[in-house]
Structure 1
Amino acid sequence: MKKLDALLSGSKIGMLTNQSAYGWEHDYHFRTIKAKYGLKKLFLPEHGLFAELQDQVSGSSLSYNLGDTQILNLYGDAEESLVPSPESLDGLDTILIDIRDVGARYYTFLTSALYLLQTVDRKNREGGHRIKVVVFDSPNPAGSKVEGSPLEEKYSSFVGIPGVPHRHGLTAAGLLEFYKDTFGLDFEFYSFGKMYSKSYDPFLWVPPSPNIPSFTTCFVYAGLCLLEGTNLSEGRGTTRPFETFGAPYLNDSDERLRKTLEEPQKGVFRLRPLRMIPTFHKHAGKVCGGFQILLEKPSEFHSLLFGLHLLRTLREFYPVDFSYLKGPYEFRSDLSAIELLVGDDFLLGYLDGKRSYLEAEEYLSEKESLWRKETKAYRK
């Protein structure tokens, strides 16, 4: 802690954080930082400081009384709000990033962090005083397992940085240091990994966003987030988002469907048939047939492969009812949500029936191996 005190004492600090940064001295970390060192500016990601807002909802209406700390919203009404201006860093010499990631590239917190770091880089290159970056690291709740393929440049968006696979297997500090080197960003970088105690204890889980209510959600999110690009409910509006899914047209009593979905990873997970009525979001107030994913071997479950197999199977079982959503998604309207989320022509071809499951599995295995090699130096 002496090194941390030396870095932060007397600093003019701006902090990107939310309620997931909790536990140091049994309080929210932004409060501890403000009391110990002072806090000039607080940058807020999607969902707000206390994860009050649902996905894709502007935070411009939120307000907090933090005394003399200025609050800057990084998820507003327009795409321009995602990237902080160089002027927003005026008066700062330290950017502190302290926020929990859930291990998937679609999860927007570390994209907001990257945009903030790119602004730090621009500010430093302008000359004058330099800004350093400090990251409070924490374990990746989804573990070090890698799933997926690198996002292709043409599918770049707020839910996908080019070159990053669907489930990256890095800690927050590891991925941000990778970004620093990959994009040639100019600042001093420091990370500290002892600010969280018992980070994997499910009884001490603090939801980083409204629909990651449980530690177990992180193990299915990389694959089930693909449902955001379809007319299937990914469980928003229920107590187990991403661990449950369904639709009014889905027959939960169809044993052939259940066995088809379970077959490629048989023995790793089970599907529990259920009925659900989402209270909001897709199919709100409607009875949906569906399933809950019960993980028997969480470390062996390949969420992305299951998600891809799920979409292709339901498209085959329900060719009239199943559909991909159209319209704007995370500020892009030129491509569909499913294209932005999958972000890979080979895998999109699999969804269209142009590849077999085995081909997709072999393709992903190769891409995952390459990513592990590429990021070996960044594994904390």
Structure 2
Amino acid sequence: MKVKTGLDILVKDKNLQSEFNGKVALLCHNASIDSTYTHAVLKFKEIFGDRFVKIFGPQHGFSTDVQDNMIETNHTIHPYFNIPVYSLYSETRIPTDEMLEGINHLFIDLQDIGCRMYTYIYTLTLLLEKCIDKDIQIIVLDRPNPINGIDIEGNILEKAFESFIGLHPIPVRHGMTIGEVALMHQNLWTKEKINLRVIKMQHWSREMFFEDTKLPWLLPSPNLARAESTCTFPATVLFEGTLLSEGRGTSQPLEIVGHPKIEAFSFYENQLVNSIKKSKLKGFVLRPITFLPTFQKHANAICNGFQIHITDKKIFNPWRVGQFMMRELYHHLGNDFKWKEPPYEYNYTHKPIDIINGSDKLRHWVENNEPVEMLDSFENLEAYKNQLNEIKLY
């Protein structure tokens, strides 16, 4: 049965719509559509008319057209809707008092991807914090976690490594919907609660990957054009902390990794085949490839590397596969492997790889060429799973 998102529920329920009588704002992006591919802004204009007064956009912009980290989006007046569009990835990532003035109900409709290193959940929680002393109701229109709500994977973020891609002590695959993130924030991460409401989905269950929902996929950020890419993202996002390409500037971003100094076939045959077998990691194949990035790292330089093909999502552990690939490539490339230097996501102190990992321990694991079995010691998830059980909506 096709899943109905929080937006779908709102669009179809006139009684629900009538509960929001004041001025309305919406935080949304390119993927904020209903099941008919109609954008939420069009639906809000239809439902709320002149009471719909402001739009907010997260990282990559309301139009989801801005590519890279720390590339900010300007505030503007929308040329068609003739209402302000405020960027929450601009000179500020927290809405100002002026931005929130005159709003009674602020709806949030963002497609998250279920991974800690993705900023939309922090745009959400910073907004919740800002509204502690505001008479504004926050309504989260819930959407699926595209990599399912059962599998929890990766280390818990350490407080010393907090950043805009990791503000809260959660694992890499956190297993929450964006509505559940809001509830966990209210339960655990704030001293004062706000007027929060989550409009639940219908027919979504935790074991679902995105293709199981039968919903249309639109890219929530410029390099996630395929729902399949969300499953490899927890592996390939790690390479943002290096000078290897994670495929930006190609037609397969965040599914491939490479570098001009790799000869992929010989590396695969002579080393990786045995290393993969020894690691006991399953549910994927690494295919040697050649690619040419057209922008970002190694733009217009031929790279060799690997595409991650998922053969069984149920046993594929992307965080572990990403750490494994990092270790193998670090020692294969030697002096040609470089960690990216700060700044990264407005952190000017720590190495970007440590910000991404939420710890420096994993970088040391890579550098010391330690066994895959040691990754178990970085995962201490029982307390987190108990916290998740307290706020689950589904």
TM-score by shorter chain over 0.5: yes
- Who is 1:171 aligned against? 177
With over 3 angstroms needed to count, the CA separation of the structure-2 counterparts of 1:352 and 1:370, relative to structure 1, is farther
2:99 and 2:261 mapped to 1: Cα distance?
49
Task: Quote the offset at 1:67 in angstroms.
Answer: 3.2
1:46 is aligned to 2:51:
no
2:55–2:86 contact (8 Å) kept in structure 1: yes
1:306 is aligned to 2:321:
yes
1:167–1:222 contact (8 Å) kept in structure 2: yes
- Who is 1:151 aligned against? 157
With over 3 angstroms needed to count, the CA separation of the structure-2 counterparts of 1:115 and 1:260, relative to structure 1, is farther
The code of the aligned residue for 2:375 comes to A
Q: What SS is found at the alignment partner of 1:289?
A: strand
Q: What SS is found at the alignment partner of 2:390?
A: helix
The code of the aligned residue for 1:96 comes to F
Matches within 5 A, 1:286-305: 286-305=301-320
- Who is 1:285 aligned against? 300
2:121 and 2:387 mapped to 1: Cα distance?
19
Segment of structure 1 superposing worse, 343-352 or 191-200:
191-200
Which of 102, 110, 126 aligns to 1:91? It is 102
- Who is 1:189 aligned against? 196
Deviation per residue, 1:187-218 (Å, 9 max, x gap): 22211234899963578211101111111111
Unaligned ranges ≥5, structure 1: 125-129
The code of the aligned residue for 1:139 comes to P
Which of 13, 21, 28 aligns to 2:24? It is 13
1:278–1:284 contact (8 Å) kept in structure 2: yes
2:37–2:216 contact (8 Å) kept in structure 1: no
Task: Quote the offset at 1:39 in angstroms.
Answer: 1.6
Task: Quote the offset at 1:236 in angstroms.
Answer: 0.5
Q: What SS is found at the alignment partner of 2:25?
A: strand
Task: Quote the offset at 1:346 in angstroms.
Answer: 3.4
Deviation per residue, 1:135-156 (Å, 9 max, x gap): 1101100112111122111111
With over 3 angstroms needed to count, the CA separation of the structure-2 counterparts of 1:224 and 1:25, relative to structure 1, is closer
- Who is 2:41 aligned against? 30
2:75–2:86 contact (8 Å) kept in structure 1: no
The code of the aligned residue for 2:340 comes to L
The code of the aligned residue for 1:328 comes to P
1:214 and 1:363 mapped to 2: Cα distance?
30
2:369 and 2:306 mapped to 1: Cα distance?
27
The alignment's C-alpha RMSD in Å is: 2.2
- Who is 1:323 aligned against? 338
Q: What SS is found at the alignment partner of 2:335?
A: coil
2:178 and 2:294 mapped to 1: Cα distance?
32
Unaligned ranges ≥5, structure 2: 1-12
1:374 is aligned to 2:387:
yes
The code of the aligned residue for 2:229 comes to T
1:61 and 1:116 mapped to 2: Cα distance?
17
1:69 and 1:242 mapped to 2: Cα distance?
34
With over 3 angstroms needed to count, the CA separation of the structure-2 counterparts of 1:260 and 1:116, relative to structure 1, is farther
Residues paired across the two proteins, number: 368
- Who is 2:89 aligned against? 75
With over 3 angstroms needed to count, the CA separation of the structure-2 counterparts of 1:265 and 1:193, relative to structure 1, is farther
Give the structure-2-normalised TM-score. Answer: 0.88
Which of 113, 123, 127 aligns to 1:116? It is 127
- Who is 1:246 aligned against? 258
1:51 and 1:307 mapped to 2: Cα distance?
26
